[in-house]
A = this chain, B = another copy of it.
Amino acid sequence: MKKELQELQTLDKEILLLAHTAALLGWDQETYMPTGALAERAEQISLLQGLIHQRIIDPRSRDFFAGLGAGEDNPAGSNDLSEIERAFVREAYRRYSRSIKIPQALVVEMAKTASMAQGVWIQARKESDFNLFKPHLEKLISLLRQMTECLGYSDSPYDPLLDEYEPWMTSREVEEVFSSLKQPLVALVQKIVEAKHKPDDSVLDTAFAEETQLKFNLLVLAAMGFEFERGRLDVSAHPFTTTLGASDIRLTTRYNEKFFPTSLFGTIHECGHGLYELGFGNDIKDSLLANAASLGIHESQSRLWENMVGRSRPFWKGFFPRLREYFPAALKNISGEQFYAAINTVKPSLIRVEADEVTYNLHIILRFELEKSLIKDELRVDDLPAAWKEKSGALLGITPATDAEGVLQDVHWSMGAFGYFPTYTLGNLYAAQFYASLCQQQPDTESEIEKGNLAPVLGWLRQHIHTHGAVYPAPELCRRVTGKKLDPGFFIEYLQRKYGELYGF
């Protein structure tokens, strides 16, 4: 093997170990850490991030990449490398070149500004006062624009931001996909709102003990194929999945005794992410290829399990009888069919994280359009709250009365994470397209799910998606898996079929 490749792999291995260690610091902070430890924990994380950054921009890398024939025009390097080696060089070069393009002073100012902005955002949301947050958002956008200039772009300054989360995809491509999604979605929501037949979700208004919810969650995790000797499920304020090692994937969920779907679907969603991380092939373990192809692909795994599987009729044919064993009193007078309808209620609402799978994507389109305009200087921060309200009315048919329920509801912008939101909807679209291929290639999948056997789902995802990690860029992975480029038609068709039947049109 080429010496330069070995050197890069040694650096990458250290980065991986440090990143997993930093992830433990983060996981512990959200789960078990005593509150008084917060200040020093921030210093610990910041030191680790510094050590990681040092290794990413290690000045010797320049020569390593040169020796491997890798550069801006040929990020994957020389043709004598194997396919996986070329993918490794491509991803390592991408990480390196993004990092060296941004001056250290700008990185530090961005981190400080975002840290301050997050604190102010919490306060502003509490007081529902956008004006408090405004100057910080303006500063963040100005720094992000500087970053886009450092990173460079040929079409839109939004591209290099999007590229951080959804590499190898441009904002023009996202625009095209979203624009063919928008009208069918708005029309579908309209039909649902006007439907005479509506499921009764009041059947869920009953108490479910947390302890029993946990037991059922563990049963579902086991059925999904989550390996407990390689991971855990804990509790945190906001559910998340984090990777502390190739065989150490930690999921969290949260419990609401009065609304049982919160913890279960949170658990299934996070397990979808976790199974991806647990499924990277042995040939890419311990390297930066043991990573998602993109955030959109990562989200496709959580959404496929949460929605296509977890909120499906076949799933509840298999699992409702078991759920009733856990909650005999609460579910005494409810049929599996009533339960299935109740957990699939659609209703336009103001808060993204509480939205159903139909309206959810309208929340995302709203944010994508606004953040793109902000970065392109086509929208002033002053005008943002009004623009939010206007778009909310146009897309969802409802308008927030306060900033807290509107423009201040999400943490992302306060962290400087512009370009992140679209990956949620890309995830839904990839999920529908993957699930269509899965059901086409394995026609008995849903009848197995009805029996409570989820192994065919995991088996297919492992083989076609998980094992490859970041070897293929997301668009290429999509074509390899489904034979087509990303096509929102699969998602629209999935929704129309499912909800047409539930709402009787």
Q: How far does the alpha carbon of A24 sit from the alpha carbon of B229 in the complex, in Å?
A: 20
Least Cβ–Cβ distance between A473 and chain B, in angstroms: 27
Of listed A32, A227, A231, residue having the most chain B CB within 10 A: A32
List of B residues within 8 angstroms of A18 by Cβ:
47
Q: Assuming A28-B28, A51-B51, is B44 touching A20 (CB within 8 A)?
A: yes
Least Cβ–Cβ distance between A255 and chain B, in angstroms: 18
- Chain A residues with CB under 8 Å of chain B are 14, 17-18, 20-21, 24-25, 28, 32-37, 39-41, 43-44, 47-48, 51, 227-232, 234, 244-248
List of B residues within 8 angstroms of A17 by Cβ:
40, 43-44, 47
Q: How far does the alpha carbon of A489 sit from the alpha carbon of B14 in the complex, in Å?
A: 54
**Residue ID in chain B nearest A278 by CB atoms:** B36
Complex copy number for this chain: 2
A-side interface mostly: helix
Of listed A229, A234, A245, residue having the most chain B CB within 10 A: A245
**Residue ID in chain B nearest A245 by CB atoms:** B40
**Beyond known contacts A21-B48, A37-B244: 17 more, CB 8 A cutoff:** A17-B44, A17-B47, A20-B44, A21-B25, A28-B28, A34-B230, A34-B231, A34-B232, A34-B248, A36-B229, A36-B230, A36-B248, A37-B245, A39-B247, A40-B248, A41-B245, A41-B248
**Residue ID in chain B nearest A48 by CB atoms:** B21
30 A-B residue pairs with CB within 8 Å:
A17-B47, A18-B47, A20-B44, A21-B25, A21-B47, A24-B25, A24-B28, A32-B32, A32-B232, A33-B248, A34-B228, A34-B229, A34-B231, A34-B247, A34-B248, A35-B229, A36-B227, A36-B229, A36-B230, A36-B247, A36-B248, A37-B244, A37-B245, A37-B247, A37-B248, A39-B247, A40-B245, A41-B248, A44-B245, A51-B51
Q: How far does the alpha carbon of A230 sit from the alpha carbon of B234 in the complex, in Å?
A: 21
Least Cβ–Cβ distance between A356 and chain B, in angstroms: 34
Least Cβ–Cβ distance between A283 and chain B, in angstroms: 17
Point out the residue from B40, B229, B231 that lies within 8 Å of A20, measured CB to CB.
Answer: B40
Of listed A43, A231, A232, A234, residue having the most chain B CB within 10 A: A43
List of B residues within 8 angstroms of A247 by Cβ:
34, 36-37, 39-40
Q: How far does the alpha carbon of A230 sit from the alpha carbon of B248 in the complex, in Å?
A: 27
Q: How far does the alpha carbon of A151 sit from the alpha carbon of B33 in the complex, in Å?
A: 39
List of B residues within 8 angstroms of A227 by Cβ:
36
